[in-house]
Amino acid sequence: MSDRIDKSLHDDHVVAQQLKARMRELDPYIPPAPPFRRIEGPVTGSPAGLPREVAPRLRPNFGAPLALVGVAVVVVLVVGSGLVGRRQDLGPAVSSSPTATGSVAVPTPTVPVSTPTVPVSTPTVPVSTPTHPPASASPGSQVLLTGPVQHVAWSPGGTKIAVVEGASGGPSSVLIIGVDGTTIRTVNALDLAWIDDSSYVTIAGNPPGIIVGHVGSSAAEMMPGNVSGFILAGPTGDMALTLSETGSNHYMVWGAAGLSDPRDGVPVAFSPDGALLAVVHYPRACCAGLPSPAPTTAPGPTTLDIVRADTGESVRVTADVSWGYGALVSFSPDGRLVAFRMDAKDQESLERVGVLDVASGKVWIVDAGTVWSLAWTDDSHLLILSQSPATSTPAGLPVTISYAPQDVDEVAVSSRGDVAMPRHDASQVVIDRAGTQETIDLPGTRHDLTWSPDGSALIAICADNTSQTPDEVVLIRP
C-alpha cells in the first residue's frame, strides 16, 4: 500500500517535471517586457526637478459620472437580510453588503427623422433541401446543422428557427429551418428577428437596409436606415435596431406603430412585457472611427438608462454599468428589477452586480467575483454565474441570490423556469427542473443556449475545444 502511494507520488513528480520542462520551451517566444514608462503612461516633468509625477491617465471614472448625472450615494446600514422567496439549490448562497446607490431620471435625447417604407423585390433565396444534412446525436439531442454558426433565434410560436450562418467578420446568411432541421428558406441578410412565425425583420448587408420579409411569400418591404446589423428582439414582436454612425450610437425601435425616430444609446435588453428597454449610454469621443467601444479608456459617464420602448422616454438612469460588448443586463420576470454587471473600481480582482429597482431608483450592490452571466429564475431568485463567487447579498434586496456551480460557463432559463447549464470544458449540458437534474451529452463544448418560447426545447451551439467558430446546432428535448 505504502509502496503504491510512494510510486504514485513519484509518478506525479515526474509528470510535473516533464510538464515544466515542456513549458520552458515557450521561453524563446516570450517577448521582453516593454519599457516601464509605457505601462505608466505619459510622464510630465516636475517643476522642482524632483521625482517625476505621472500625468493623469484616462481611466474609467465613475466618481465624476456620479456627480455629473446627479446620482446620490446612500450608505445603508445592515439591519438584516430581509430576504423573501425561495432559493433553488444550485450553489452556495451569499451573505450581505451594506452599500446601495440611488439614481435619478434624466431625459433621453432623440434625433427625429422621417421613416417612410419602400416596397422592394425580395432579397430571399428559397431553397427546398437542407444546406447541411442533419447528423446523428446522443439520445435527447439531435444535430440539426453543421457548419459555421453565429447564433439562432426561435420564432415566437416555436415552429421555426433562424440560424445566422458564417464566421465572425465574414459574409453571413440566415437559414430559416423547421424544428426537424429541414431548410425552409435562406435569406441574404446579416441578422434576423421574428415579428411572428411567418414574418420577420432582417438587416441586409448589400445594399444595406431594414427589410420586412415573410416566410411563405416573396413580398418584402424595405425601410430606410443605415443599420449596423445588430437586432435586439423584444418579447412581443418589437425590436431595437442599432444604427451605423461614427462617433455616436443611435437605435430605432420597430413595433406595431412602425419604426421609431432614432434615439440615443445602445439597446441591451427588453423587459419581459416589452414595455421597457434598457439602453447603455457611453461616451464615444475617444472612439470615433473604431469598430468597438473602448470602455477602459472612455472618459465621462457610462450610464444604464431604462426607457419606455414605445416613446423612448427615460424612466430611470443609473451609473457604474460595466460596458463592453459583453454588457450583462437582465430584467426580473416581473420587470421591477434590473440586474447588471458593474465595475468594482477599488478592487480590480472583483466585479459587482447591481440590482436596480426601477420604481424607486434604488440600487443594491453585490460583490460577486468574476461574473460570467446573470439570470432570473423566477420572481424571487437571481442566479449569478461567477468564476469566483464572493460575498454579500445586500440587506433589503427583495430577491434571493445564488451562484451557479463553478464548472458552468453559461446559464439559460426557460419560460417554464428550467435552468440549462453547460458544463465547462465538458460536452454536456445539465438541465435543472426544480432541483431535479438531467445531464445530456453534446457533440462539443463552448455552448450558446437558446430555449424555445414554450420552454419545451433547447438549442445549443457547440464547437470543439480548438475551433474559433461554433459549428454545430443541436436541438435538445429534455
Partner 1 sequence: MTTLHLLGERDLVIDEERAVVRHEFERIYYRTWPDVFRYALTLLRHREDAEDVTAEAFRRALESWDSGHGPQGDALPWIFLITRRIAIDRIRRRRLIGWIPLERTPEPADTAEEAAFVRSEVWIWFEQLCRVLPAQQREALLLRFQFDLCDADAAKVMGTSAANVRTKVSRGLATLRQRPEVLDR
- Pick out residues in 427-446 that bind partner 1 (CB under 8 A): 446
Q: How far is the CB of 190 from partner 1 (least distance, A)?
A: 5
Out of 96, 108, 142, 172, point to the residue binding partner 1 (CB under 8 A): 172
How open is the CA angle 189-372-92, to the nearest 5 degrees?
145
Check binding of 422 to partner 1 (CB under 8 A).
Answer: no
- Cell numbers linked to 133: 444534412
Q: Return the number of the residue (324 or 396) whose C-beta is nearest partner 1.
A: 324
Q: How far is the CB of 430 from partner 1 (least distance, A)?
A: 16
The SS3 assignment for 430 reads: strand
Q: Return the number of the residue (237 or 369) whose C-beta is nearest partner 1.
A: 369
- Where do the DSSP E strands lie in 290-362? 303-308, 314-319, 329-331, 337-343, 351-357
Return the range that interacts with partner 1 (CB under 8 A); candidates 95-103, 134-142, 167-175, 331-339: 167-175
Site for partner 1 in 183-202 (CB under 8 A): 190-191
Those residues whose C-beta lies under 8 Å from the C-beta of residue 291, and which sit 6 or more positions away, are none
In terms of Cα–Cα distance, which of 84, 80, 77, 76 is closest to 102? Answer: 76
- Cell numbers linked to 446: 463552448
Check binding of 349 to partner 1 (CB under 8 A).
Answer: yes
Buried/exposed code over 298-330 (b: 16+ C-beta within 10 A; e: otherwise): bebbbbbbbbebbebebbbbbbbbbbeeebbbb
In terms of Cα–Cα distance, which of 413, 412, 373, 411 is closest to 389? Answer: 373
Residue 470 phi, psi dihedral angles, 5° rounding: -60, 145
- Cell numbers linked to 317: 438612469
Residue 27 phi, psi dihedral angles, 5° rounding: -55, -40
Site for partner 1 in 269-298 (CB under 8 A): 291-292, 296
Q: Return the number of the residue (11 or 89) whose C-beta is nearest partner 1.
A: 11
| DSSP class of 104 | B
Q: How far is the CB of 458 from partner 1 (least distance, A)?
A: 17
Out of 387, 415, 428, 456, point to the residue binding partner 1 (CB under 8 A): 387
Binding mask 131-150 for partner 1 (x = CB under 8 A): -------------------x
Q: How far is the CB of 74 from partner 1 (least distance, A)?
A: 23
Strand 419-422 and strand 428-433: the pairing is antiparallel
How open is the CA angle 238-203-295, to the nearest 5 degrees?
80
Q: How far is the CB of 319 from partner 1 (least distance, A)?
A: 19
Q: How far is the CB of 222 from partner 1 (least distance, A)?
A: 19
Check binding of 244 to partner 1 (CB under 8 A).
Answer: yes
Taking the C-alpha atoms of residue 314 and residue 395, their distance in angstroms, rounded to an integer, is 28
Site for partner 1 in 78-97 (CB under 8 A): none
Check binding of 3 to partner 1 (CB under 8 A).
Answer: no
Check binding of 30 to partner 1 (CB under 8 A).
Answer: yes
Q: Return the number of the residue (380 or 467) whose C-beta is nearest partner 1.
A: 467
Quick check: 458 and 478 in contact, CB under 8 A? yes
Residue 7 phi, psi dihedral angles, 5° rounding: -65, -40
Site for partner 1 in 38-57 (CB under 8 A): 38-41, 46, 48, 50-54, 57
Out of 1, 22, 42, 118, point to the residue binding partner 1 (CB under 8 A): 22
Check binding of 228 to partner 1 (CB under 8 A).
Answer: yes
Q: Return the number of the residue (129 or 466) whose C-beta is nearest partner 1.
A: 466
Q: Is 7 exposed, middle or buried (0-12, 13-18, 19+ CB in 10 A)?
A: exposed
Return the range that interacts with partner 1 (CB under 8 A); candidates 92-100, 122-130, 418-426, 436-444: 418-426
